[in-house]
Every structure is written in C-alpha cells, then in structure tokens.
Amino acid sequence: NATIINFNNEKMQITWATRELFPNENVSFSYTFDEGKHKVWKPCTTYLLDQDYNSGCLFKTEGPTLTISIKNNNGSEELFCKKLKSDFYIKPSRPENVTFFWEEDTVTVSCNKPERAAWCLKLELQYKSKFDKEWQSRTSKCCSVGEQGFDPRKCYSFRVRLRRLVPYCNVVNYSSDWEAETFWMNGTLLDSCDDDITSQPNTVIVLSCLLAALLMMLILLILLCKWQRVQMSVLPAIPDPKYLFADLFNDHNGNVQEWLDKNDHVMLQTKLEYEEPESITEAESQQEDGKNSDKEGPLEKIFTFSGAAENSDRKAAQIARLIPASNTTTSFTDFHILMDDDIYVML
C-alpha cells in the first residue's frame, strides 16, 4: 500500500496508506541514497498529511538506489523498510515545445528530446474530431509521431504526452501529464472546435431562414390573389363617392347646394344644345302647317320665340315645356296661339 514516484528523476514522492497500515499513529519517515554499510539517513522535511497524520514524504532525488524506513513516532521501532531502484519509478515531465506539421491529410507531431534516457520514452498522440466520442491514439518513439487520414473539413482536438517503457525502464507504467489540448482544422490552429461546430449550423440556419422567408412570401402572394378574387365575388366593390363626385369635394368643398346649382346650369346648357335644333325644326313645320291652314280656315298666327334664350341672362335662360290639353288656345297680349298635342313653345 505504498506509492513511489520519481518525478523526472528530480524529486521523489512516497506515500502510504496510513489509515490501513498505521491507524491512529503518526509515524516518521527517513531515507538514504547511500549503498555502503555506513548509510547516512535523512529525515523527511516535507510531509504529506492525511487528517493530520503523516501519509507521505517529498524529497530530492539524489541517486539510482533508494532505501526508505518508516518508524514509530519516537523512532524507537522500525515499522517498514525497503530498498529500491529510483530509476524504475520515473514519471516523465510533459513534452516541451510541441509542434504540429501539416501536409495535406497527414500531421506530424514532435517535441524536444529529453537530455537523459530518451530511448526509454515514447511519444503518444491522441486526437478526435467533433464527431468522435473517444480518443484515437498513436504512439511512436521519442520524439516524433505522425498520422494520416485527417479530413480537412473537420476540426480535431490534439493532445500529447511522454510514456516510460515497461518493463525495460520502469516497473510501473508511468506517463507524463497531457500537454495542453490544441484544436486544428486543415492545418489552422483554432481557439476551440466550438467555432467550427457553430459556424456550419449557423450557415444552415441562415439558408433555412431565407428559404422559409421566400416560401412564406410566395404563399402570401398566392393567398392574397385568391382572397381578392373571393372578395370580389362575395363582396363586390362599392364605388367611392369621392371619385364619382370629385367636383363636389374638390371645387365646392362638399357644399351640396352650390354644387346642385352649378350642375343644374350645366345640365340646362347641355339640354339646350341638343334640343334647340329639334325645336327649330318643329317650329318650321308648324309655320308650314299654318300657311296651309290659312287657305282653308280662319286666320291663325303661330309664333316661335327662338331667340329669347340667347338674349336673356344666363340664369333666366330656361326651357319650359308646356303639354296642354288638345285644342287649347293660349293668349299672349294681342296674339292667340292654338296648341294641340304635338307642339310646345320655347321661351
């Protein structure tokens, strides 16, 4: 129940399960890197604690051979002792100066070569795309590893670490901590694959919105045309009096009486233009009939007052149609006019 770690052959960390091995007892720890009979033991200066009980020690690595001793609190009784090779418990440091080299669909990852025992190390590369749930792993000798088959349209996450060879160099399979994760797409370093994940859906969303808007506009136009047809068939359009009586609103500001007066005058003038030729023709025919009647019966005089409308004032010019009873005689001062059903007098 002890864990021994040699951090890059620089620092040693030894921990033990104090609750199981030494319950309710605060033990002391000492170590030495000497191999002869005359060993110089060094007490632990940096203890690791577990609920105020010593559960480990951290000290500097000073040689390949280590001997440790655990005694009771006052140092009178040795509870545990072990001799070991410190080089068999090395945990390497993180890879330094990691670089990525892209060539089409192939990527090569490399790092700085450690100064000591580089042949005992392997460089491990792990990667996954946004569509992968688990990491893909590739391992090569220190300190370069390559892989091919990367899709330039995908964003990939990469991480690397160094591994110690077992059992040739280590008795425990120790690896370094992972180097900081990086994100790449087609040879371009990104801050995060979230940018790529959101960019493509954003494009799809924009295109979908545009298509939906165009489809909605088309549907609205079709519905509008059909609605206009239905409205015209069910509810015929009611003419706006504003356009039928434009002169009433534009010229007379809605004054109906003024508009009627002017309209009566216009209608009267129109009537005169169309009725005057007819009245003249009828008067001439009456004169001819009068001449014929002079020869047969008593003398009767028929006068047509055709010029009265032209000489009088515009407002006094009116047409009076008199429809008398049959054989009625009308008197005008000294003149007597016999009127029957087929004549009328213009004044």
Q: Helix or strand or coil: residue 43?
A: strand
The C-alpha atoms of residue 11 and residue 60 are separated, in whole angstroms, by 4
Q: What's the whole-number mean pLDDT along residues 186-195?
A: 83
Q: What's the whole-number mean pLDDT along residues 128-148?
A: 89
Integer CA distances (angstroms), 245 to 249, 251, 254, 260, in order: 7, 10, 9, 11
Q: Helix or strand or coil: residue 312?
A: coil
Is residue 55 located within the same domain as residue 117?
A: no
Tell whether 249 is covered by a domain: no
**Per-residue pLDDT, 262:** 72
**Per-residue pLDDT, 132:** 86
pLDDT digits (tens, 9 = 90+) for 197-250: 444 556 778 888 888 999 888 888 888 887 777 667 766 666 665 555 666 666
Q: Which of 61, 91, 121 is the last residue of a domain?
A: 91
Q: What range does the domain containing 128 cover?
A: 99-190
Is residue 83 located within the same domain as residue 103?
A: no
**Per-residue pLDDT, 205:** 84
Tell whether 39 is covered by a domain: yes
Q: What's the whole-number mean pLDDT along residues 303-332?
A: 45
CATH number at residue 42: 2.60.40.10
**Per-residue pLDDT, 51:** 85
Tell whether 328 is covered by a domain: no
Q: Using the predicted structure, report yes or no on whether residue 343 has a pLDDT greater than 60.
A: no
Is residue 80 located within the same domain as residue 118?
A: no
Q: What's the whole-number mean pLDDT along residues 151-157?
A: 89
Is residue 80 located within the same domain as residue 117?
A: no
Q: Helix or strand or coil: residue 95?
A: coil
Q: Using the predicted structure, report yes or no on whether residue 149 has a pLDDT greater than 60.
A: yes
The C-alpha atoms of residue 197 and residue 176 are separated, in whole angstroms, by 30
pLDDT digits (tens, 9 = 90+) for 14-44: 999 888 888 888 899 999 998 877 888 999 9
Specify the range with the lowest mean pLDDT, choosing from 146-155, 263-272, 274-283, 295-304: 295-304
Tell me which amino acid residue 86 is. Answer: S
Q: Using the predicted structure, report yes or no on whether residue 336 has a pLDDT greater than 60.
A: no
Question: What mean pLDDT value characterizes the chain?
Answer: 76
The C-alpha atoms of residue 60 and residue 6 are separated, in whole angstroms, by 9
Greater model confidence, 143 or 278: 143
Tell whether 228 is covered by a domain: no
Is residue 87 located within the same domain as residue 106?
A: no
Tell whether 342 is covered by a domain: no
pLDDT digits (tens, 9 = 90+) for 100-128: 999 888 999 999 988 888 899 999 999 99
| Residue that the structure tokens 């605060």 belong to | 26
Percent of the chain with pLDDT over 70: 65
Is residue 54 located within the same domain as residue 117?
A: no
Is residue 73 located within the same domain as residue 145?
A: no
The C-alpha atoms of residue 120 and residue 168 are separated, in whole angstroms, by 8
| Residue that the structure tokens 């192939």 belong to | 106
**Per-residue pLDDT, 33:** 92
The C-alpha atoms of residue 154 and residue 129 are separated, in whole angstroms, by 7
Is residue 77 located within the same domain as residue 105?
A: no
DSSP 115-169: SS-GGGEEEEEEEEETT-SS-EEEEEETTEEEEE---TTS-EEEEEEEEE-TTTT
Across 131-145, 296-310, 330-344, which has the greatest mean pLDDT? 131-145
CB 60 within 8 A of CB 119: no
Q: Which of 155, 190, 225 is the last residue of a domain?
A: 190
Tell whether 172 is covered by a domain: yes
CB atoms inside a 10 Å sphere around CB 67: 16
Tell whether 242 is covered by a domain: no
What total of structural domains would you count in the chain?
2
Integer CA distances (angstroms), 43 to 4, 40, 133, in order: 17, 10, 49
Q: Using the predicted structure, report yes or no on whether residue 315 has a pLDDT greater than 70.
A: no
CA atoms lying within 13 Å on the CB side of residue 153: 2
Tell whether 69 is covered by a domain: yes
Is residue 178 located within the same domain as residue 106?
A: yes
**Per-residue pLDDT, 247:** 66
pLDDT digits (tens, 9 = 90+) for 67-106: 999 998 888 888 888 899 999 999 999 999 999 999 888 9
Is residue 34 located within the same domain as residue 11?
A: yes
Q: Which of 66, 91, 116 is the last residue of a domain?
A: 91
| Residue that the structure tokens 């140092």 belong to | 75
**Per-residue pLDDT, 43:** 92
The C-alpha atoms of residue 178 and residue 345 are separated, in whole angstroms, by 124
Residues 6 or more apart whose CB falls under 8 angstroms from that of 191 comprise 183
CB 92 within 8 A of CB 121: yes
Is residue 49 located within the same domain as residue 107?
A: no
Residue 71 pairs in a beta bridge with: 28, 78
